[in-house]
Structure 1
């Protein structure tokens, strides 16, 4: 019988997976940090060259929700597995998204289908922090009551929708099936 790993071991493996993701992103030509040469904790202006370049921004809320969703989905399909293993699976999915999101194909799709006209992709720092925000969401969902996790996800979606006219739901919709009316609303038209 295989011995279960401790949570510490799962976290170490997860950290290594995130480091590999950073290496892949660097290999892809992504900037390690913002080309402005500084590192900011928070960037609140979506339509700026600083967006998706620093530690956190309005889209960090979406990554926390990713953690909620991954925890819930993996609880449904793999609840008999250790939470550390489920976390590693969530990191794999989030890391794969961060790599895919920073391909020319997806960057160009964001530019043509959404309001992100000047989007150039994420810095490696931002991508790593996005994964860490997902991890925070995953751990929160693993400890909090379901009703609270759902309430916070709704509040995050409504808050981001109100403040920046974008959120996880709109982001997915506009990437998959762009609607001119939503694009106009997001652009303030």
Structure 2
């Protein structure tokens, strides 16, 4: 987490929201504080990342200690946070998703996103697989209903954008 923080700061990412405030929750997607605060609608997606990483680790490395799998998951999530805040991905979000004015995450938000992934990973380690899947589906449906976006649509719109989805999301 310290390495992630150092890399993001070296990339020129703001430590906190440029607005100068720190909030536990920011719920307005189309605003200058989205992806700048401790948590937002996309925190649900990062919990699901943790569910996915836990499931993959138990499938691909069933005999590895949980802390080893978690360390690998943190490395992957950290790499995603760095990539997500690179100009190529920021521009892709602006062009292809509902994040029209997206300028990247604050370091606070990126570290919080990684923390939400850790929480998801650890929660999945304590639940049965079907409970984890049920909660992930509930999160996906809830955020779809609340903000017309979720992890599934986010991946779709980054990888293979659908104009009709973009129009619907813009709403």
Q: TM-score range by the shorter chain?
A: over 0.9
1:73 aligned to 56, 62, 85, which one? 56
1:34 aligned to 14, 17, 20, which one? 17
Q: Which residue of structure 1 lines up, in the alignment, with residue 3 of structure 2? A: 20
2:95 aligned to 106, 112, 119, which one? 112
- The offset of 1:139, in angstroms, is 0.2
Equivalent-residue separation in structure 2 for 1:164 and 1:106 (angstroms) = 21
Describe how 1:66-145 pairs up with structure 2 within 5 A.
Answer: 66-145=49-128
TM-score (norm 1): 0.90
- The offset of 1:147, in angstroms, is 1.2
- The offset of 1:136, in angstroms, is 0.1
Q: How many residues align?
A: 171
Equivalent-residue separation in structure 2 for 1:165 and 1:117 (angstroms) = 14
- The offset of 1:42, in angstroms, is 0.2
Q: Which residue of structure 2 lines up, in the alignment, with residue 10 of structure 1? A: none
Secondary structure in structure 2 of the residue aligned to 1:95: helix
Describe how 1:23-62 pairs up with structure 2 within 5 A.
Answer: 23-62=6-45
Equivalent-residue separation in structure 1 for 2:133 and 2:65 (angstroms) = 23
- The offset of 1:174, in angstroms, is 0.1
- The offset of 1:64, in angstroms, is 0.1
TM-score (norm 2): 0.99
- The offset of 1:115, in angstroms, is 1.2
Question: Which consecutive unaligned segments of at least 5 residues does structure 1 have?
Answer: 1-17
1:44-73 Cα offsets, whole Å, 9 max, x none, are 110010100000000000000000000000
Q: Considering only aligned residues, what root-mean-square deviation do their CA atoms show, in Å?
A: 0.4
Question: Which consecutive unaligned segments of at least 5 residues does structure 2 have?
Answer: none
